Amino acid sequence: MANGNQTEVFVYEQVVILMSCAVSFLGSLLIICTYATWKDLRTTPRKLLVFLSVTDLLSAASYLYGVWRMFDSNTWDCVVQGAISTFANTSSFFWTVAIAIYLYIFIVKSSQRLADSLVLYFHLISWGVPLAITVAALSLQKIGYDASEVSVGWCWVSIQEKDHVLWMLLTGKIWEFLAYVTLPVLYALIKVHIHKAHAALSEYRPILASRVASSSPSAMADWKLTLIPIIFIVLRVWSTVRFLLLLFDSPARQNPVLVTLHGVGNTFQGAANCIMFTLCTRAVRVRLATLLGCHRHAAPGGSDPPSRPTSGTCTRSDVDQPAEVHTWEDEEE
């Protein structure tokens, strides 16, 4: 499994992780495209999701190059790829937490004005801090070949540096640990607030209590609030495990199953967000299905369209149906 201090990455692991990178890249691109296409979906939470998707797209692209290239030395493109992935990955942590903070203030504190006023600070922190860290690491020549000891083919912090553990913490791990704590707490507080609000409302509207919870918009939002921190932790925990095993110099970090889970977990975040906030969001899903239906039923060969609409055809107005969307909870309506 290992060659000296280098973790061997098998071909099947490489193929699986390359597929994960490609799916995540396309998923992040789909989130960005849907936001750009439909104006009434351009809410602040979804705008923050777009910024997160930009970082996930950069991460997926840089990881894809790294896994395809399978670096074995400290080359110039290894350093470039490592710098891009370091910036994008760290920025992704900040934007993920920023979205949770925004939703907490918007829902629990019931202050959209305060939540919106924080967006500028989200930009300054979520772009500025990762950029400063990456520039510092580049300037001190800390980014380079890591022998796949804490990666899967791509470059990160050079394993030959004596203070590589410190720089691994600064360029990702410390922010990852903070996200593990922050996300569950914030989303748990949001869920508790929503449940209390629904309980109070049901006292005055008994009919609401008789509705099937699984089919209600609030149930879908509650389901998403539960999954967001869970998915983040499930995807990222394998990277954390390998890092901790490296600290204890355990050969278990080179286990092929663990290496594969690490590779998929680090690269699949964009795809996971796309599934939750695009494919599992009715307002977006219906539009995509309608748009695909338009292309599928378009007249072949450039022939003139029929003079009358028939079943299975649609117009632009069918795709661009206006909808008042304020939060992800409303998008399910």
**pLDDT value for 226:** 77
**pLDDT value for 322:** 40
Domain that holds residue 276: 2-294+313-331
The answer as to whether 301 is a domain residue is no
The answer as to whether 308 is a domain residue is no
Confidence band (pLDDT; 50, 70, 90) for 200?
A: low
Phi and psi dihedrals of 6, rounded to 5?
Answer: -110, 130
The answer as to whether 43 is a domain residue is yes
Phi and psi dihedrals of 76, rounded to 5?
Answer: -65, -40
Taking Cα atoms as reference points, which of 187, 272, 198, 199 lies closest to residue 225? 187
3-state SS assignment for residue 36:
helix
Tokens encoding 291: 């748009």
Question: With contact defined as beta carbons under 8 Å apart, do 172 and 113 qualify?
Answer: no
First-to-last C-alpha distance (Å) of the chain: 51
3-state SS assignment for residue 33:
helix
The answer as to whether 200 is a domain residue is yes
* Domain total in the chain: 1
**pLDDT value for 283:** 80
* 201 pLDDT higher than 50: yes
More confident residue, 110 or 21: 21
More confident residue, 322 or 233: 233
**pLDDT value for 307:** 43
**pLDDT value for 298:** 54
**pLDDT value for 205:** 53
Q: What are the start-end ranges of the H helices in the chain?
A: 11-37, 44-69, 76-103, 112-117, 119-139, 164-168, 174-204, 206-209, 217-247, 256-267, 269-274, 282-296, 316-319, 328-331
CA distances from 236 to 4, 68, 299 (A): 26, 21, 46
Counting Cα atoms < 13 Å in the Cβ hemisphere of 252 gives: 10
More confident residue, 50 or 285: 50
CA dist 97 and 84 (Å) reads: 20
**pLDDT value for 280:** 84
pLDDT tens-digit series, residues 292-310 = 776 665 545 544 444 444 4
Taking Cα atoms as reference points, which of 122, 130, 134, 138 lies closest to residue 175? 130
Calculate the average pLDDT of the chain: 83
Confidence band (pLDDT; 50, 70, 90) for 197?
A: confident
Taking Cα atoms as reference points, which of 90, 14, 20, 18 lies closest to residue 270? 20
The answer as to whether 304 is a domain residue is no
The answer as to whether 303 is a domain residue is no
3-state SS assignment for residue 143:
strand
The mean per-residue pLDDT over the stretch 140-159 comes to 92
- The contacts of residue 11 (CB under 8 Å, 6+ apart) are none
pLDDT tens-digit series, residues 263-284 = 999 999 999 999 988 888 888 8
Tokens encoding 68: 């395809």
Confidence band (pLDDT; 50, 70, 90) for 32?
A: very high
The mean per-residue pLDDT over the stretch 113-133 comes to 96
Confidence band (pLDDT; 50, 70, 90) for 327?
A: low
The answer as to whether 307 is a domain residue is no
Question: With contact defined as beta carbons under 8 Å apart, do 252 and 244 qualify?
Answer: no
The answer as to whether 300 is a domain residue is no
**pLDDT value for 310:** 43
The mean per-residue pLDDT over the stretch 256-266 comes to 95
**pLDDT value for 203:** 57
Tokens encoding 53: 């998707």
Among 15-29, 49-63, 109-123, 219-233, the minimum mean pLDDT is found in 219-233
CATH for 14: 1.20.1070.10
Please report the sign of the dihedral spanned by the C-alpha atoms of residue 50, residue 51, residue 52, residue 53: positive
